[in-house]
Amino acid sequence: MSAEYELEQSTLVKEIAELEIFLQEQRERAVSTDSFLKLVRKYTDIKELDAEILRTFIERVVIHQKAKNEDGKRTQQVDIYYNFIGKM
């Protein structure tokens, strides 16, 4: 019976550690979202898109290799990573 309790306790300790990591990630995500919303509020009336605004919102752009579809059309994937929220 003692072995069962020890096994249960070690399982619960692992589960607590995993939940604490999950909770920390959620807190960081909430902070990132708040920071992004502050930027959005700052630029609510954009008349012209300029380099400063792009640098403010975009962390990086990843351009992948061109691919040719079966029908002969070429496509190219472009990933845009936004500050505070990541890839969309």
User: What does the pLDDT look like over 46-87, one tens digit per residue?
Assistant: 888 888 888 888 889 999 999 888 888 999 999 999 887 777
The residue assigned the tokens 């002969």 is 72
Can you give the residue range of the structural domain that contains 80? 2-87
Q: What is the pLDDT of residue 57?
A: 83
Domain count, the chain: 1
pTM: 0.49
Closest CA to 57 of 83, 20, 79: 83
Q: Are 56 and 82 in contact (CB under 8 A)?
A: no
